[in-house]
Structures are given as C-alpha cells and as structure tokens.
C-alpha cells in the first residue's frame, strides 16, 4: 500500500450509514417548527416533499459523477473533469475548495450550535455556556475522527442505529396515539394555489432542503468506497428514500399529537411531543437521543469534508500541507484539524438561524448549479460508456435540478445571495493572483493551446 494513498474499505452499508447520519442531524428537529411557521398551515408537509424531490433529482447528477470519478474530494474532482483539467476546470475546482474552507466549518458549526440549543431542554444554558457546549462538541468530533477509516466505518454504523431508533420511537409514539392520519387528511385544508403559497413553499424549502443535505456525502469519500460504481449511487438513493419516508412520518406523528398552530412556536417540539405522550422522563430520553443524532451528523459531515482540501492538495491545486496523511492512520489529519479548528471558532461566533441560509447561499452556485451544468457539458463530449451510472431521461433531470436550485438560492434572501456571490468573487480574484504567480491557466501558454472548444 502506498504511503500517500487512501484505502477502499467502506461498503454499501457503511456508505449508506455515513450519508444518513449526515442527513439526519439536528436539522429536522429544529427546522420542523420553522417550516410549519413559514407555511402557516397544515400544508407544511409539501415543503418536506419538495425537499425530497429536489434531493432525488440532484442525486442523479451526483450519481453519474460519483460513479465515473470515485476519488476523494467529490465535487473538486467533478468540476475539474467536467470543465476541463487544463482550462476552466482549474478555476471551478479551486472555487469549490475555496468555498468549502468557509462553508464546511459553517455546516459543522451549525450542527454543534443546534446541539447546544437542544441541550437546553435538559439543562438551561446561559449564552456563554451554550458556546462552551457547541465548541466542546466540535472538539469531541475531531478526537473521534482522528483514527483509521475502518474504525470510523464501525462508529458510523453504531451512530446510524441510534439515528434510526430515535426516528422510529417518535413515529411509533404518534401511531400509538391513535390520531396519526389526521394531519394527512387535512393537508389541503384552506390551501389556495397562488403566489403566496408558492413563495411560502420556496422559503420553507430552504429549511427542509437543509435537513436533506448530506445525501452526497459519500462522494467526498469516493477513494475509500468498495465497488464505487454501484455503491455510490445506491447509497444516495437509499438514503434519500429512507430519510424522506422517516421525515414525513415524523412530521405527521408530531402534529398528530401537538397541533401545528402550537408546534410552529415550539423550540423543543419533539421533546414536548414525547412529554405529552409519555411524561417528562421519556421526554428527557428522546432529547438525549436527538442529541446523539446531532452528534452523529457532525461526525459524518466532518469526515466527508476533511477529504476535500486533501484531494485538492494531493492534486497540486491547493496548499501542499493539506495533502499529508497521518503516518500510521493513513487519513488526512492536517485537513481534519484545520476544518475542525475553523468550525470551533464559528461555533463560538454565529447564531443558528443565520448559519442555515448562509450555508445554502454559499454553496449552491458552485457545488450544485455549476456541477449539474458541467455534467451536461461532459455528457456532450464523452461516450455513454464513460458513465457506469446513467440517469433516466437525460438531460431533463439536469435542467430540473438547476431550475430548482436557482429557486432555493433566491429564497435564501438578497443579503445571503449577495454574501455568497461576494465570496465567489473574492475566490476568483485569489485564483487569478495565484494562477499568475504560478503561470497556470489562463496565464499558461500550453494550457491556452490545449483548450478545446468542445469544453464550453
């Protein structure tokens, strides 16, 4: 085994567990009342359905690219391959790593902040104590991830079981209550298909989509997946289908006990739901399980993101220090420690409500829209045999994904969009300064001569 090479040790079960634990973090428990409040009616379930549909369509894009280019770094490699290794792909892949160095710690910090927020149900925390709690969560995650990938796969399986048991208990509680189908029967009560509904659906979908993010996490670990051409697409579709069903059932279960009019203003809606069903002791237990789920999500997300700067550095497109692997554990420890350190700082500085929209606004243009368009360009110039997985009805899902992501981007709000675009613009400036100093594209004569019009 080469000293600086990742090892394929993760199977389908591990891949699915990593995706699902990333998806079901603190997100659905804290965004459930947010979504209800934005929709302000029993039709809030449509926002969760919209998030599932977008995720499923976008997963087709990820599946084609993940199966064709199963390497560490995910979108870094996808953007480089789709826009040309010696041309525009250099800029696009650099911008992805650039935004990842900001956005990834934001994702990790959001879960840690959410953890501290929900912990307040067990023990009320002051503002300072909440910051100490969120920072401690990040530190614990880094300690757990500082080990070999096969050990991490086993830890992921244990955490995955905890996630499933938590959701099953919540759903089972609603079923046992005896009024489970009521929210579904009344889902269209007072519903009018007009601009107000569409606008509300867009704003609410920002929160529901946030709770689905992570279905592609395994693509960042492409270099460590066994039989990636099959297991990467399968793990994503299984994850989305499973989580969509669990989210819908959980929402129905909660509002079958706590009316949506009350649930939309609750800070601990699932804990209150369980307290009403089974008493205060049961509410404390479910809160502890929710905290385990939140912790699991930070674990899975940090694992995937730590491979992105490593992949770029190993490819010579980022600072060399990030390409270092641990001498005995064979994992990118420098990348892990850096992202964890920035996430620790973010967890002390930001509020959760701001972080959720910022995460989406920053990553949509480069990671989702540009990646989907890049696949369309790549499919035009390469034969279908180059793609082990091929989406049905190509290119319709690609265009649908782009349209829906544009809608989500707009729904994050003007200031978030402006902030995301500003970060990209700054990244473009940094890239051109770096490219000019290193005589890379577009300042390299060889690269210019190699540029193929078919790439654009």
226: left (phi over 0), alpha (psi -120 to 50) or beta: beta
CB neighbours of 290 closer than 8 A, spacing ≥ 6?
A: 26, 29, 118, 166, 270, 271
Domain-located, residue 282 = yes
Phi, psi of 168 (to 5 degrees): -65, -40
The three-state (H, E, C) secondary structure of 34-86, written as one string: HHHHHHCCHHHHHHHHHHHHHHHHHHHHHHHHHHHCCCECCHHHHHHHHHCCC
Tokens of residue 300, six digits: 């899975």
Burial (CB < 10 A; 0-12, 13-18, 19+), residue 132, is middle
- The DSSP H or E segment spanning 9 is none
Tokens of residue 128, six digits: 């300072």
Predicted TM-score (pTM) of this structure: 0.84
**Rounded to the nearest 5 degrees, what angle is found at the Cα of 179, between the Cα atoms of 175 and 184?**
95
| Distance separating alpha carbons of residues 231 and 17, to the nearest angstrom | 12
| Distance separating alpha carbons of residues 75 and 167, to the nearest angstrom | 30
Q: What is the pLDDT at residue 100? A: 87
| pLDDT tens digits along 392-413 | 999 999 999 999 999 999 988 8
Check: CB of residue 99 under 8 Å from CB of residue 427.
yes
Domain-located, residue 3 = no
| Distance separating alpha carbons of residues 290 and 24, to the nearest angstrom | 10
Q: What is the pLDDT at residue 274? A: 93
CATH of the domain at 79: 1.20.1740.10
Check: CB of residue 297 under 8 Å from CB of residue 24.
yes
Give residue 373's Cα distance to chain centre.
20
| pLDDT tens digits along 105-134 | 988 888 888 889 889 999 999 999 999 999
Domain-located, residue 4 = no
Domain-located, residue 2 = no
Q: What is the pLDDT at residue 379? A: 93
Dihedral of CA 12/15/20/23: which sign?
negative
Tokens of residue 416, six digits: 């978030």
Q: What is the pLDDT at residue 58? A: 97
Closest-CA residue to 409 (of 420, 399, 398)? 420
Burial (CB < 10 A; 0-12, 13-18, 19+), residue 274, is buried
Neighbour tally for 4: CB within 10 Å:
12
Bond preceding residue 454 cis, omega within 30 of 0: no
If one counts the domains in the chain, the total is 1
| Distance separating alpha carbons of residues 406 and 369, to the nearest angstrom | 8
Residues of the chain where predicted confidence (pLDDT) is lower than 70: 1-5, 149-150, 152, 178, 353-354, 445-456
Domain-located, residue 213 = yes
Domain-located, residue 7 = no
- The DSSP H or E segment spanning 328 is none
Closest-CA residue to 291 (of 83, 97, 140, 446)? 140
Residue 340 lies in domain? 12-455
Tokens of residue 147, six digits: 């080990």
Alpha-carbon dihedral of residues 339, 344, 350, 355, nearest 10 degrees? 40
Tokens of residue 113, six digits: 């902040």
Domain-located, residue 103 = yes
CB neighbours of 165 closer than 8 A, spacing ≥ 6?
A: 289
Burial (CB < 10 A; 0-12, 13-18, 19+), residue 53, is middle
């Amino acid at each position: 085994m080469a000293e600086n090479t990742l090892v394929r040790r993760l199977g389908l079960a591990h891949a699915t567990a990593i995706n699902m634990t990333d998806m079901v973090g603190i997100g659905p428990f804290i965004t459930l009342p947010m979504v209800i409040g934005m929709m302000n009616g029993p039709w809030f379930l449509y926002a969760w359905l919209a998030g599932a549909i977008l995720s499923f369509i976008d997963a087709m894009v990820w599946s084609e690219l993940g199966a064709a280019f199963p390497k560490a770094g995910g979108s870094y490699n996808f953007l480089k391959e789709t826009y040309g290794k010696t041309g525009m792909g250099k800029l696009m892949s650099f911008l992805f790593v650039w935004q990842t160095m900001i956005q990834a710690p934001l994702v990790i910090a959001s879960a840690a902040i959410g953890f501290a927020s929900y912990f307040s149900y067990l023990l009320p925390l002051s503002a300072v104590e909440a910051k100490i709690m969120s920072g401690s969560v990040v530190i614990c995650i880094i300690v757990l991830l500082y080990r070999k990938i096969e050990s991490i796969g086993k830890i992921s399986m244990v955490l995955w079981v905890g996630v499933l048991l938590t959701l099953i208990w919540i759903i089972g509680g609603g079923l046992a209550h005896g009024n489970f189908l009521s929210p579904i029967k009344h889902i269209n009560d007072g519903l009018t298909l007009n601009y107000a509904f569409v606008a509300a659906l867009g704003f609410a979908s920002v929160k529901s989509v946030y709770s689905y993010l992570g279905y592609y996490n395994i693509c960042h670990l492409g270099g460590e997946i066994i039989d990636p051409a099959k297991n990467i697409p399968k793990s994503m579709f299984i994850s989305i289908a499973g989580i969509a069903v669990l989210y819908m059932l959980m929402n129905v279960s909660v509002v079958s006990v706590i009316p949506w009019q009350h649930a939309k203003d609750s800070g601990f809606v699932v804990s209150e739901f369980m307290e009403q069903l089974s008493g205060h002791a049961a509410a404390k237990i479910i809160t502890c399980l929710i905290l385990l789920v939140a912790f699991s999500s930070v674990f899975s997300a940090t694992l995937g993101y730590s491979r992105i700067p490593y992949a770029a550095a190993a490819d010579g497109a980022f600072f060399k220090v990030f390409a270092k692997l641990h001498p005995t554990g064979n994992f990118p420890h420098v990348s892990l420690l850096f992202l964890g350190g920035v996430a620790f700082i973010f967890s002390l500085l930001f509020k959760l409500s701001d972080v959720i929209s910022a995460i989406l606004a920053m990553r949509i243009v480069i990671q989702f829209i540009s990646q989907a368009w890049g696949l369309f360009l790549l499919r035009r110039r390469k034969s279908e045999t180059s793609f082990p997985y091929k989406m049905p009805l190509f290119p319709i899902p690609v265009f649908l994904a782009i349209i829906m992501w544009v809608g989500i981007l707009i729904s994050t709000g003007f200031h978030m969009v402006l902030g995301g675009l500003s970060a990209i613009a700054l990244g473009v400036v940094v890239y051109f300064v770096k490219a000019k100093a290193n005589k890379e594209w577009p300042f390299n004569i060889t690269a210019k001569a190699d540029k193929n019009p078919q790439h654009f």
